[in-house]
């Protein structure tokens, strides 16, 4: 193992690292806790200082300080290395320039742009006046590193190239756009994407800038969008980024609650008045990945949106995904036409009260229907269409029974008819259901926590494969690992993932070298990784079969199908148990 990782492990132990995220209780020479990676009532997560690792007997997760930080923070290996080096006070040595990754160059460009924009803001009367009108304090502006892009065509480009960055790399960050015949103002091959805008840096979970959202403050004769975001890049994927998550995650974990808002100004205003467990979607609909990030920290979610029809309808998709993940969802209803930033500006207490009075999503929709004064027949139809699908998505039967009773009382009938209607519900597949198919688009993510672990294990195995292929006499032949990996991963997925990881080969080789060079237990560790990967695929197949059984029973499907599914479930359960042995 490399000297850098050894230095970090020598300075901070597994109990110190894990204990900074979750509450540990002494259990003899070890520590125990409720697992942060899955829901459980009794502690099955154990930390062993002597072995310098952790293991959960409930979900079978385990590893060292690096894998723990990777999984709980959602970081890659290098991100976890940086986080732990900072905790341990270890200065990371620069790596060989030949192995320096493209992503590291892009991160450096975006960090320099963040600093440049912030300096511009301090010198801009227009930008400071706008933020003052929105009642943002200087401290808030500084903490969120809010900046300003001048209304010029190449100010940022000129600054970045003067720092030695190449135009080709700057383009890959989305900060500049190639010139064409219709754009003649730039006078060069590229021009700045953001001009005349207040700039909000968008960060990954560890706080590194990966993109920007710009709000127009200096208008021109050209018709321009109020907000524009960075385009999709190697670092920025809007379907996977929650604005403010890096600053809110500790408070979300402490409060066991996440408040979700729509925009950057809503987020910074909420944080400014002390609601630090707030995050925001940024220029996209709420996705399964977003909710998976939140579920890492809490199962309790409050969604805040205005009371108009569009706001309520827009929330339905996200609510379906959250309920499918087993989350408790509440709605904070805001006055028509107002958002959290408006409430904070008018009266701080109004925003805090809206959060405190948030109601369960099903209660919220029942109350909304009650205000419509429908006749009984129309009301019953609306409940079947708009409320019962939410009840059907609840994973807990006791919760379903509680809301069936409430709905029966609401419409003045017995519970039996409500149960009958509930059984007739044919749920449209949520994003989460679709993503349980592991051959689906990589833009989606299957049941987030499990799939996240699957990806992490798979990445480690591919990094080991590439690294071993560079060695003359490896302790584990690369050809053997290649055969075994193909046995676990289906051919279609193997070809797709191999092509994906090939584009980051240098980075993966370095990652494996830092983790496994000189490791005398390499063969057994690879065997364990392969077993864990196979288990993750089996669990995904099991989840899909259970969903099919449930749908078959609810819809009166062929009994023979349910029997076949059940038999395969039993086979999978036995395979998983055999792997654990």
Strand 278-280 with 258-261, pairing: parallel
Q: Are 279 and 259 in contact (CB under 8 A)?
A: yes
pLDDT for 444: 34
Q: Are 147 and 198 in contact (CB under 8 A)?
A: yes
What is the token pair recorded at 225?
A: 């969008």
Q: Are 241 and 211 in contact (CB under 8 A)?
A: yes
Q: How far apart are CA 229 and CA 82, in angstroms?
A: 27
Q: How far apart are CA 184 and CA 192, in angstroms?
A: 13
- Is the model more confident about 234 or about 547? 234
Q: How far apart are CA 317 and CA 319, in angstroms?
A: 5
pLDDT for 445: 33
Q: Are 256 and 298 in contact (CB under 8 A)?
A: yes
Q: How far apart are CA 569 and CA 426, in angstroms?
A: 23
For residue 53, pLDDT over 80 is answered with: yes
For residue 310, pLDDT over 60 is answered with: no
In our burial notation (b when 16+ CB lie closer than 10 A, e otherwise), range 384-405 reads: beebbbbbbbbeeeebbeebbe
Give me the residues paired with residue 211 across strands.
202
Give the pLDDT confidence of 411-420 residue by residue, as tens digits. 888 989 889 8
When pLDDT is cut at 50, 70 and 90, the band that residue 103 belongs to is confident
Over residues 537-545, mean pLDDT: 83
For residue 76, pLDDT over 80 is answered with: no
This prediction has a pTM of 0.67
Burial category of 439 from C-beta neighbours within 10 Å (exposed 0-12, middle 13-18, buried 19 and up) = exposed
What is the token pair recorded at 310?
A: 């569009």
Give the pLDDT confidence of 263-279 residue by residue, as tens digits. 899 999 999 999 999 99
For residue 440, pLDDT over 80 is answered with: no
pLDDT for 269: 95
Burial category of 286 from C-beta neighbours within 10 Å (exposed 0-12, middle 13-18, buried 19 and up) = buried
Q: Are 4 and 61 in contact (CB under 8 A)?
A: no
CATH number belonging to domain 3-88: 3.90.580.10
- Is the model more confident about 328 or about 426? 328
What is the token pair recorded at 455?
A: 């990806």
- Domain 3-88 and domain 99-123+137-236, same fold? Reply is no
Give the pLDDT confidence of 395-411 residue by residue, as tens digits. 778 888 989 999 999 98
What is the token pair recorded at 43?
A: 């502690």
Rounded to 5°, angle at Cα 137 from 133 and 139: 155
For residue 21, pLDDT over 70 is answered with: yes
Q: Are 535 and 60 in contact (CB under 8 A)?
A: yes
Give the pLDDT confidence of 208-218 residue by residue, as tens digits. 899 999 999 98
Q: Are 195 and 149 in contact (CB under 8 A)?
A: yes
pLDDT for 368: 84
pLDDT for 95: 54
Over residues 244-259, mean pLDDT: 90
pLDDT for 225: 86
When pLDDT is cut at 50, 70 and 90, the band that residue 447 belongs to is very low
pLDDT for 123: 92
Radius of gyration, CA atoms only, the chain: 26
User: What CATH class does 99-123+137-236 carry?
Assistant: alpha beta
Q: How far apart are CA 106 and CA 104, in angstroms?
A: 5
SS3 of the chain: helix, strand, coil, percent, to 5: 55, 10, 35
Instruction: Name every residue whose Cβ is closer than 8 Å to that of residue 529 and which is 6 or more positions away in sequence.
Output: 457, 460, 461, 464
pLDDT for 434: 41
With the C-alpha atoms ordered 15, 19, 22, 28, is the resulting torsion angle positive or negative?
positive
Q: Are 427 and 548 in contact (CB under 8 A)?
A: no
For residue 231, pLDDT over 90 is answered with: yes
In the chain, domain spans = 3-88, 99-123+137-236, 237-357, 358-435, 438-580
pLDDT for 94: 62
Q: Are 280 and 263 in contact (CB under 8 A)?
A: yes
Give the pLDDT confidence of 159-181 residue by residue, as tens digits. 999 999 999 999 999 999 998 75
Over residues 43-59, mean pLDDT: 83
Burial category of 12 from C-beta neighbours within 10 Å (exposed 0-12, middle 13-18, buried 19 and up) = middle
pLDDT for 220: 66
pLDDT for 475: 66
pLDDT for 422: 87
When pLDDT is cut at 50, 70 and 90, the band that residue 514 belongs to is low
| CATH architecture of residue range(s) 237-357 | 3-Layer(aba) Sandwich (3.40)
Q: Are 184 and 137 in contact (CB under 8 A)?
A: no
pLDDT for 510: 66
Over residues 227-252, mean pLDDT: 90
Give the pLDDT confidence of 178-194 residue by residue, as tens digits. 987 555 455 578 999 99
pLDDT for 449: 41
DSSP letter at 38 equals S
CB atoms within 10 A of CB 342: 19
pLDDT for 185: 52
pLDDT for 429: 53
When pLDDT is cut at 50, 70 and 90, the band that residue 150 belongs to is very high
pLDDT for 100: 54
Q: Are 547 and 560 in contact (CB under 8 A)?
A: no
Q: How far apart are CA 349 and CA 409, in angstroms?
A: 34
User: Phi and psi (nearest 5°) for 237?
Assistant: -130, 110
């Amino acid at each position: 193992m490399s000297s850098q990782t050894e230095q970090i492990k020598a300075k901070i132990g597994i109990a110190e690292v894990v204990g900074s995220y979750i509450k540990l209780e002494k259990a003899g020479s070890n520590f125990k806790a409720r697992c942060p990676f899955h829901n459980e009532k009794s502690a099955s997560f154990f930390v062993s200082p002597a072995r310098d690792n952790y293991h959960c007997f409930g979900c079978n997760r385990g590893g060292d300080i690096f894998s723990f930080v990777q999984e709980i923070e959602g970081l890659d290996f290098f991100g976890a290395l940086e986080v732990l080096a900072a905790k341990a006070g270890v200065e990371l040595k620069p790596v060989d320039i030949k192995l320096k990754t493209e992503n590291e160059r892009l991160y450096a460009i975006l960090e320099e742009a963040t600093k440049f924009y912030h300096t511009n803001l301090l010198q801009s009367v227009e930008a400071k006046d706008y933020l003052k009108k929105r009642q943002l304090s200087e401290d808030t502006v500084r903490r969120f590193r809010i900046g300003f892009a001048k209304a010029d065509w190449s100010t940022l480009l000129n600054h970045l190239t003067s720092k030695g960055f190449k135009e080709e790399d700057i383009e890959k960050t989305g900060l500049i756009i190639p010139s064409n015949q219709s754009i003649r103002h730039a006078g060069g091959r590229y021009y700045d994407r953001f001009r005349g805008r207040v700039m909000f840096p968008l960060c990954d979970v560890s706080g590194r800038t990966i993109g920007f959202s710009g709000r127009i403050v200096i208008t021109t004769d050209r018709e321009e969008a109020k907000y524009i975001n960075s385009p999709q890049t190697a670092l920025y994927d809007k379907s996977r980024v929650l604005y403010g998550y890096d600053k809110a995650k500790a408070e979300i974990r402490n409060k066991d609650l996440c408040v979700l808002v729509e925009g950057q100004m809503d987020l910074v205003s909420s944080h400014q008045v002390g609601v630090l467990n707030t995050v925001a979607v940024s220029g996209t609909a709420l996705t399964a990945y977003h909710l998976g990030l939140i579920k890492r920290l809490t199962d309790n979610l409050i969604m805040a949106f205005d009371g108009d029809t569009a706001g309520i309808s827009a929330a339905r998709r996200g609510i379906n995904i959250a309920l499918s993940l087993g989350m408790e969802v509440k709605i904070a209803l805001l006055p028509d036409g107002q958002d959290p930033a408006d409430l904070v500006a008018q009266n701080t207490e109004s925003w805090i009260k809206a959060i405190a009075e948030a109601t369960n999503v099903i209660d919220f929709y029942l109350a909304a229907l009650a205000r419509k004064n429908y006749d009984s027949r129309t009301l019953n139809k609306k409940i079947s269409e708009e409320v019962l699908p939410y009840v059907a998505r609840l994973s807990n039967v006791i919760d379903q029974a509680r809301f069936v009773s409430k709905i029966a009382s609401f419409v003045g009938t017995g519970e039996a008819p409500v149960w009958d209607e509930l059984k007739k519900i044919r749920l449209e597949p949520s994003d989460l259901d679709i993503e349980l198919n592991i051959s689906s688009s990589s833009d989606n993510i299957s049941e987030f926590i499990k799939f996240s672990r699957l990806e992490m294990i798979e990445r480690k195995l591919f990094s080991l494969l590439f690294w071993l292929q560079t060695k003359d006499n490896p302790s584990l032949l690369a050809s053997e690992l290649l055969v075994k990996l193909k046995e676990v991963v289906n051919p279609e997925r193997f070809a797709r993932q191999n092509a994906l990881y090939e584009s980051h080969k240098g980075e993966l080789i370095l990652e494996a070298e830092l983790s496994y060079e000189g490791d005398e237990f390499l063969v057994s560790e690879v065997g364990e990784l392969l077993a864990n990967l196979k288990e993750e695929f089996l669990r995904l197949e099991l989840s899909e079969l259970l969903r099919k059984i449930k749908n078959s029973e609810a819809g009166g499907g062929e009994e023979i199908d349910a029997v076949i599914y059940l038999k395969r479930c039993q086979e999978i359960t036995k395979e998983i148990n055999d792997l654990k042995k």
